Amino acid sequence: MNAQLYVLLIVSVLMSALAQVTLKAGMSTVSVKGALAEGFGFDTILAVAQSPGVIGGLALYGASVAVWLAVLAQIDVSRAYPFVGLGFLITMSFGYLFLGEPLGLQKILGTLLVTAGVYLVANA
| Residues 89-124 pLDDT 10s | 899 999 999 999 999 999 999 988 988 887 787 776
> Which residue range(s) make up the domain with 7?
3-122
**Tens digits of residue pLDDT in 58-85:** 999 999 999 999 999 999 898 888 888 8
- In this structure, are residues 61 and 20 in contact, taking their beta carbons and an 8 Å threshold? no
In the chain, count H helices and then E strands. Answer: 7, 0
The model carries a pTM of 0.86
**Tens digits of residue pLDDT in 9-45:** 999 999 999 999 999 999 999 998 988 888 888 888 8
Q: How many domains does the chain have?
A: 1
Q: Is 30 exposed, middle or buried (0-12, 13-18, 19+ CB in 10 A)?
A: exposed
d(CA 98, CA 118): 25
Q: Which amino acid is at 59?
A: A
Average pLDDT rounded to a whole number, residues 48-59: 95
